[in-house]
Structures are given as structure tokens and as C-alpha cells.
Amino acid sequence: MWFVAGVLLGLVVLASLIGFHVGPHAHLAAGVLGVLAAVWLVVMAVDGRTAPVLWALLSADVIVSGGIGALAWKGLTTRGVNVPARRLVSPVGAEGVAVGDLGPEGVVRVNGEDWSAVALNGTVRAGSPVEVLRVAGVRLEVWGNDPLGAPRPDDLDAALGNAGSQSDPVALPNDSTREGGGS
């Protein structure tokens, strides 16, 4: 009888620990196992096994099972309630500013956040406006609207991988820079 009680209590502890990794369903299983262990310990007490350790195990089991059951109840009834609504917005197409010189790599500020970036049209001065063309992992690929060197007409197409394409995939606010008319 003691062996069965030990196995049930061990399963309660194991399921409780697993519940902290996989969620409230495992805590619910631990609570159910805890109730079964409590019933088994009461059966042992009624059978005449009134050792002090039996009462200590029963008390500990009731406390642990109650706590784990409360965790399971809270986790199952409030799932997703306290999660703030947050919309993820792609920075592609957004305008920003170069924090430092992009030569061609550096830092830009877009939508109030600092990003590492690479200017696809060469070196861009600090404080110059940039437009985000692509997100490459955690780095932005940007087009500087005030580059230090005048880009060639097909620089943007080549940077976007559209070499030889006649269509303009991104409408830039300052097309004179792209046409080679900028400084």
C-alpha cells in the first residue's frame, strides 16, 4: 500500500513540474492525481495504518493538490485574457533617418526605433532621410534620399534584384536622386 501511495505522490510532483513547462493541462492532471493520492491515503488510514508519516503525507498532498488545482483553474479560465493586443507592423515602406553615417552600414531610426541598416545606394550622411525597402533578418535595407555619391540609374533595381527590369518596384519620394540628378 505504501508503494502505491509513493507512486501516486511522485506522479503528483512530476506532473506539477511538467505543468510549469507545458501549461495548465498538466497542472490539471497533477490535481487529479493529487485527489487520487489523497483518497488512497485516506483508505490507508481507514485500514488502520495510522503512522504519523501518513498524516504528514496526506496534509502535504492536500495543500499541493489544492495549489496546483488553483493554478490549473486560473490557467484554463483566463487563457489569453491578460495578453495586450499588439499589432506587428512591417517597417517596409516607412521613412526614417540615418542616426550616423551609413557607409553603407550603420544605424537608422524608423518609427521611433533604432535599427541596424545597410544603405543599398552607398554612403548616406547622418541625419539624412531614408526609406526602408526590405527587412533582412534584424537588419533593414534602406535607400538614402541624400547619398554622398550620386547613384547610377539602375542602382535601385540592382539592389532589389530586379536588374534589367523596366518596372519600378518601390516608389521613392525623391525620384531625382534615383535618376542621378541628386548631389
Q: What is the CATH number of the domain that holds 155?
A: 2.40.50.140
In a domain, 36, yes or no: yes
What phi and psi, each to the nearest 5 degrees, are found at residue 24?
Answer: -70, -20
Q: What is the DSSP letter of 102?
A: B
pLDDT at 181: 46
In a domain, 87, yes or no: no
Res. 8 pLDDT band, cuts 50 70 90: confident
Cell numbers at residue 72, please? Answer: 490549473
pLDDT at 183: 43
> CB–CB of 133/91 below 8 Å?
no
In a domain, 85, yes or no: no
pLDDT at 164 > cutoff 70: no
Domain total for the chain?
2
pLDDT in tens, 100-143: 988 889 999 998 889 999 999 888 899 999 999 999 888 999 99
36's CB contacts (< 8 A; 6+ apart) are 8
| Greatest extent of the chain over all pairs of C-alpha atoms, in Å | 98
DSSP bridge pairs for 96: 110, 130
Res. 168 pLDDT band, cuts 50 70 90: very low
pLDDT at 24 > cutoff 80: yes
pLDDT at 155: 54
Among residues 32, 51, 77, which one ends one of the domains?
77
What is the reported pTM? 0.41
Among residues 23, 51, 77, which one ends one of the domains?
77
pLDDT at 79: 63
Tell me which of 16-20, 47-51, 108-112 is least confident.
47-51
Query: Do 58 and 103 fall within a single domain?
Result: no
pLDDT in tens, 74-104: 888 876 655 555 566 788 999 999 999 888 8
Distance of CA 27 to the CA centre of its chain: 24
pLDDT at 108: 94
Query: Do 47 and 120 fall within a single domain?
Result: no
DSSP E strands, the chain: 95-98, 105-110, 113-119, 129-136, 139-144
Query: Do 106 and 160 fall within a single domain?
Result: yes
Rg (CA), the chain: 32
In a domain, 35, yes or no: yes
What is the residue range of 53's domain? 2-77
**Cβ neighbours, 10 Å, residue 180:** 12
**Cβ neighbours, 10 Å, residue 44:** 19
